[in-house]
Structures are given as structure tokens and as C-alpha cells.
Structure 1
Amino acid sequence: MFNFPPTNVNITANKDDKTLTLNCTSDSSNPVALLTWYKGNEDVASNNSIITSNYQPIIADAEYNGKSISQSLDINVDDVKDGEMAFCCAKHLNTDLCTSIQLAPFRESSDSSSLTAWMTLIVVAVSAVII
């Protein structure tokens, strides 16, 4: 068996009243990657504060005899500051693969904010692919 890093990390979001639940999923790697969450205003994940999740990571069999990992995180939307982002990084040996999501659009309670939040997620995902 050989070592290989994940090639993709994805964050999805679901807002329920005042709680924003983020879910981070990494694709197949061997050994399984470790997920780390960050929150803050800096563009580089590691320049922000590490935040911990109350959820246990879920590890599943994946492609190429590797393992994928996913973990959820709850954030109180009232605690979100302007410009703040959440990052999820999959660490594999000496490599970190990170993705981010803007949090401020989720503070709004109207249906239009959900559209704005999803558009922000799409823009961030496209930016991550380009970079």
C-alpha cells in the first residue's frame, strides 16, 4: 500500500435558526487525513484561531483503498463578525489542503441571505480551484 494525500476538501453549510452547521469532507487519502478547523479574518487558515468541534470525525472507506474523513462544526451565528471565515484543513503527512467559507452572510435570517451564502460558497470553491 502506498501513501497519498487528499486532493479535495469541501465545506457545506446548513443554517437552523441561530446555529450554522458546517460539514467538512476530505476525499480519499492514505493514511487518512486529519481535519482542523480555523475561524477568523485572515486569508491564510493557519493565521486564524483554531476552533474545536464537538462532533467526532467520521472515517469511511474511499477510492484507491484510502479513507475519507468528514466532521461537522456548529457556530452560533450571533458570534460571527464581519469578514469572518471558517476554514477546514486536511493535514496529511507534511501537506495541508484547506478550503474556506464566508460566515457573515449566514447572520441574516431572510431567504435571500441563504442565496447570498450559497453564492459566496460557490465563489470560494471556484477561487480555491483556481488557486
Structure 2
Amino acid sequence: MSEMILTKTRLFEGVWEGVLTRREEGEFSPDIEVTHQQEPVEGVEVVEKPEEKLWVVRVPVPLEKIADGVQTFVIRDRQSGEVLESFALLAGDVLSYDIRAEMALLREELDLLKRAFRRHCLDTM
């Protein structure tokens, strides 16, 4: 079990933000790395808030990483290699197919329910 806990707070204006806390007290300096397809993401900020005993982690989403499909970003502790959190961006034509397929299934289920309900109403009259 990790001694660090990273909790997402928001994704706003192209920046993923989270709060990093530690289970144990004492001197500590987090060493965080963020990767996308095993490549490091630049511009990651880890800002300490000693009065609150936490760190604010800010991960800018590079524009060149935004593309069709699912883009996954992994946040790790560099020293242990343990994954603390991850987030994914979903976009493009790949999703529209999934949504259209789901809508078609929902329509089919609704039609089935309508037929069964009409049959039920006719049988009870």
C-alpha cells in the first residue's frame, strides 16, 4: 500500500489537478512523473502547502497529445514506480461509433418493452 494518496480535484482549462497527501508524518519531498504512452509529460507542477500538510499536483495536457480515441496519462511516484493515479481523455470518431451503437441497442430494448407492454394491455382487456 502506498504511503502517498493522490486525489483528483478537477480537470479545468487543459490542466488536471489533484491533491497529494501522505499517510505518515515527517520530512518528505514527492518525486512525481507523468507519462503518456511511456513518454514523459513536461510542465508537471508539485506545489507544497505545508499549513495543510499536502501538495497540489498540476498536470498540463499537451495539445499534441489530444487526438481521436482514448489518451491515457499515468501519474507515478518516480522512486517506487507505483501508480498513484491516471486519467484519460476520450475524443473523436471512435466515440461516436460507440455512442451510436449504444443508442441503437437502447432503441431495440425500448421497442421490445413497448411491444411487451402493448401485448400485456391487450391480454388484460
Distance of 1:68 and 1:78 partners within structure 2: 31
1:50 aligns with 2:48: no
TM-score, normalised relative to structure 2 = 0.52
For residues 3-35 of structure 1, what are the alpha-carbon distances to aligned partners after superposition, in whole Å with 9 as ceiling and x for unaligned?
x921x1123311x3xxx1111321125413212
SS of alignment partner, residue 84 of structure 1: strand
When Rg is computed on C-alpha atoms for both structures, the one with the higher figure is: 2
Overall identity of the aligned pairs, in %: 5
Q: Which runs of 4+ in 1 moved over 6 A?
A: none
- Contact kept, 8 Å, 2:65 with 2:71, in 1: the verdict is no
How many residue pairs are counted as aligned between the two chains?
86
- Contact kept, 8 Å, 2:41 with 2:62, in 1: the verdict is no
Of structures 1 and 2, the one scoring higher in RCO (CA 8 A, sep 6+) is: 1
Distance of 1:61 and 1:22 partners within structure 2: 21
* Inter-CA distance 103–60: structure 2 relative to 1 (3 Å threshold): same
What is the aligned-residue RMSD (CA, Å)?
3.0
- Contact kept, 8 Å, 1:33 with 1:68, in 2: the verdict is no
Distance of 2:75 and 2:7 partners within structure 1: 8
Name stretches of at least 5 consecutive residues in structure 2 with no aligned partner. Answer: 93-125
Q: Which residue of 2 aligns with 1:33?
A: 30
